[in-house]
Amino acid sequence: MEPLLHEPTGDTPKIKLDPHQGHFEFVGNSYPENTSKLYGGVIDWLDNWLRTTQMKELTVDFNFDYFNTSSAKYILEILRRLRDFHNEERKLTIRWHYYEDDTDMLESGEDYMETIDMDFELVVKEEDDF
Amino acid sequence: MDSSPLIAVPDVLIHYQGIMTNEVLKAMVRQLEASFLAKGVRMPRVKKINAVLIECLQNLIHHAESLTPIGTDAPEIEVAQEDKICAIRTRNLVSEKRRGLLQVKLDSINQMDSAELRSAYKAAMESGEVMGRNTAGLGFLDVARKSADQQIHFNFEPTGTGLYFFDLRVRV
pLDDT at position B132 is 44
Instruction: Please provide the average confidence, as pLDDT, over all residues in chain B.
Output: 84
Using CB atoms within 10 Å of the CB of residue B29, give its burial: 0 to 12 exposed, 13 to 18 middle, 19+ buried: buried
pLDDT at position B19 is 84
Confidence of residue B130 (pLDDT cuts 50, 70, 90): very low
Q: Please tell me the distance in Å from A20's CA to the nearest CA on chain B.
A: 31
Q: Are A14 and A52 in contact (CB under 8 A)?
A: no
A10 to B146: CB separation less than 8 angstroms, yes or no: no
Tell me which chain B residues have a C-beta less than 8 angstroms from the C-beta of A39.
none
pLDDT at position B43 is 84
Confidence of residue B1 (pLDDT cuts 50, 70, 90): low
For β-strands B11-17 and B76-82, DSSP reports them as: antiparallel
Average pLDDT, stretch B47-58? 91
Average pLDDT, stretch B143-150? 94
Using alpha carbons, list the distances in angstroms from residue A34 to A39, B19, B126, B128, B148: 9, 18, 20, 18, 29
Does residue B3 have a pLDDT over 70? no
Instruction: Please provide the average confidence, as pLDDT, over all residues in chain A.
Output: 92
Sign, CA torsion A117/A122/A127/A128: negative
Helices (H) and strands (E) in chain A, counts: 3, 6
Does residue B52 have a pLDDT over 80? yes
Q: Which residues of chain A have pLDDT under 50?
A: 130
Average pLDDT, stretch B104-126? 92
Residue A37 to residue B105: CA distance in whole angstroms: 28
DSSP code for A87: B
Candidates B125, B141, B145, B150, partner chain A, best to mutate (most A CBs within 10 A): B125
Does residue B147 have a pLDDT over 60? yes
Average pLDDT, stretch B120-130? 79
Does residue B70 have a pLDDT over 70? no
Does residue B66 have a pLDDT over 80? no
A70 to B133: CB separation less than 8 angstroms, yes or no: yes
Q: Please tell me the distance in Å from B131's CA to the nearest CA on chain A.
A: 6
pLDDT at position B131 is 47
Q: Which of B23, B128, B149, B159 is nearest to B86 (CA)?
A: B149
Q: What is the complex's ipTM, to 2 decimals?
A: 0.85
Sheet with B153-158, edge to edge strand ranges = B11-17, B76-82, B85-95, B163-171, B153-158
Average pLDDT, stretch B125-140? 66
Q: Please tell me the distance in Å from B161's CA to the nearest CA on chain A.
A: 30
Confidence of residue B148 (pLDDT cuts 50, 70, 90): very high
pLDDT at position B133 is 47
